[in-house]
Amino acid sequence: MPVRYGIIGCGAIAQRRHIPECAANPASKVAAIADPVKERVDAIAAKYGAKAYTDYKDMLKDPNVDAVVVCGPNTLHASQSIEALNAGKHVLCEKPMATTRADAQAMIDTANKTGKYLMIGLNQRLMPPHVRAKEILASGKLGKVLAFRTAFKHPGPEGWAIEGAKSWFFKKGQASMGVTGDLGVHKADLLRWLLGQEFTEVGGFVSTLDKKDQHGDLIDIDDNAYLTFKTAGGVIGSMILSWTNYGAEENYTVLYCEKGVLSLGTDPVYGVIVNYRNGDKEMHKVGEMSTNEKQVPSGVIDLFTKSIESKTPPEIDGIEGYRSLDAILTAMEAAVAGKITKIA
C-alpha cells in the first residue's frame, strides 16, 4: 500500500515539487490537501484526485493520511508539524523548520515522544552536483578542505510564490526571516553536510537593500546577507545570500582543498569541476540543480517515502534541521550585534 500523504499549504513548492513528485512515485499517493484558499485547494485536489480541506486540523483527523507535508508560511511550520506528529502522522516539514530554536527543539521532542518520523526539506543535499562533490571529498583525492565560498542569489521570492509580491514571504509576522532564513538555511545545511563539520563561529552583514512589497514599500526583513563562518575543524568560508540578484540565479559553491579546488554550480554544463594542484582537471557532467525557473525532481518525497516504507529514520531529520537553523539564527544575531559570535 502506498504512503498516503496530506499536504498542508498548496502554494508554489507544493504544486511544483511535492504534489507532482508524490503522484509520480508508485510508492506514494496524494490523499489530501489543505489550504485556506478554497478555490486553490479545490482545483489542485481535483486535479490529483485528492480530498480538499480548507482547515488542516480537519485533515489531521483523516485516517487515510499517513504522512503530512508542511509547506505553508515559515511561522506555521512548528505548530503544524507538532499537531501532525501528535495526530500520529509522519511529517516532512519545509525549511526553515521553525523560526526559533525553542520551536525547533519542540518539534524534535514531539517526534521522539510520538515515535513518528520528522524530516526537513533541505534538498540541496540531494542535488546531483552536491552528491558528486560529497563522493569526491570522501575519496580523499583533494585532501582536507581549507576554505570555501558559496552563494545563493536570485531576484526574489515574488517571482516564485503563488501570490507574487503580496506573498507572506515579505511579511515579517509570517516569514520571520528574509533571505537569510530562506536561502541561507539551505547553504548552512549544504556546507555542514559537505564538510562533515559543525559551524562554530559566524559574523557578517545582514541588510535590506532594495526589495519592495506590493505597495512599493521596502520590506522589513532582510534581502541580502554577506556572512563569514568558521567550523570546528578550522575551515573558514564566505556565504552570500541575495533576493536582489536581478539577473540569472546563482547557486554555487567552491571548496579550496589541500590538493586542489572543487567547483560546484559554476559552469552551466559541467556541474562539478575539479582543478587539482598538479594541473590535472576533471569535468563532471551530472544531473542539474533545480532553480526557480527550472524544476527538476528534488527527490525529497521519494526519500521520505523510502524512509517510512523501510522503517528507517530519515537522515535529514529534526536535529540536522535544528543545527542548520541555529547557524543562521546566530548569523542574524551576530549581524545585529556587529561581532563574530559563537554558535552553540
Quick check: 56 binds ligand NAD (CB under 6 A)? yes
Q: Could you say which of 3, 76, 87, 325 contacts ligand NAD (CB under 6 A)?
A: 76
Kindly state whether residue 35 participates in binding ligand NAD, applying the rule CB under 6 A.
yes
Choose the binding region for ligand NAD from 104-112, 142-150, 157-165, 269-277 (rule: CB under 6 A): 157-165
Q: What phi and psi, each to the nearest 5 degrees, are found at residue 79?
A: -65, -40
Residues in the chain: 344
Q: Nine-digit cell at 81?
A: 508539524
User: In angstroms, what is the minimal distance from the CB of 279 to ligand NAD?
Assistant: 37
Q: CA 133 to CA 229: how far, in whole Å?
A: 20
107 binds ligand NAD (CB under 6 A): no
Counting Cα atoms < 13 Å in the Cβ hemisphere of 233 gives 12
CB of 96 to ligand NAD, least distance (A): 7
Write down the least CB distance from residue 72 to ligand NAD, Å. Answer: 3
SS3 of residue 302 by DSSP:
helix
Q: Which of 3, 4, 11, 193 binds ligand NAD (CB under 6 A)?
A: 11
Choosing from 25, 101, 141, 163, the residue that interacts with ligand NAD (CB under 6 A) is 163
Among 3, 162, 225, 241, binds ligand NAD (CB under 6 A): 162
Which of the 8 DSSP states describes residue 74? G
Rounded least distance, CB 210 to ligand NAD, Å: 21
- Tell me which residue has its CB nearest to ligand NAD: 11
Contacts of 250 (CB under 8 A, 6+ apart): 151, 152, 153, 154, 265
Give the residues across from 68 on adjacent strands. Answer: 6, 91
Binding ligand NAD (rule: CB under 6 A), the pick from 31, 45, 67, 71 is 71
By the rule CB under 6 A, 320 interacts with ligand NAD:
no
Give the nearest distance from C-beta 220 to ligand NAD in angstroms: 18
Task: Name 199's bridge partners.
Answer: 231
Q: Does 22 bind ligand NAD (CB under 6 A)?
A: no
**Spatial separation of the C-alpha atoms in residues 194 and 134, rounded to whole Å:** 6
The binder of ligand NAD chosen from 24, 36, 287, 312 (CB under 6 A): 36
CA torsion 56-58-60-63 (nearest 10°) is -140
- CB burial of 249-283 (b: ≥16 within 10 Å; e: otherwise) equals bbbbbbbbbeebebbbbbeeebbbbbeeeeeeeee
Nearest distance in Å: CB 307, ligand NAD: 17
Nearer to ligand NAD, 170 or 229 (CB): 170
The binder of ligand NAD chosen from 167, 176, 324, 341 (CB under 6 A): 167
Query: Of 3, 4, 5, 9, which one interacts with ligand NAD (CB under 6 A)?
Result: 9
Which among 82, 50, 43 is positioned nearest to 64, based on CA atoms? 50
Q: How far is the CB of 157 from ligand NAD (least distance, A)?
A: 7
- Using a 10 angstrom Cβ sphere, with 0-12 exposed, 13-18 middle and 19 or more buried, the burial of residue 291 is middle
Site residues (vs ligand NAD, CB under 6 A): 8-14, 34-37, 40, 56, 71-74, 76, 94-95, 121, 123, 160-163, 167-168, 182
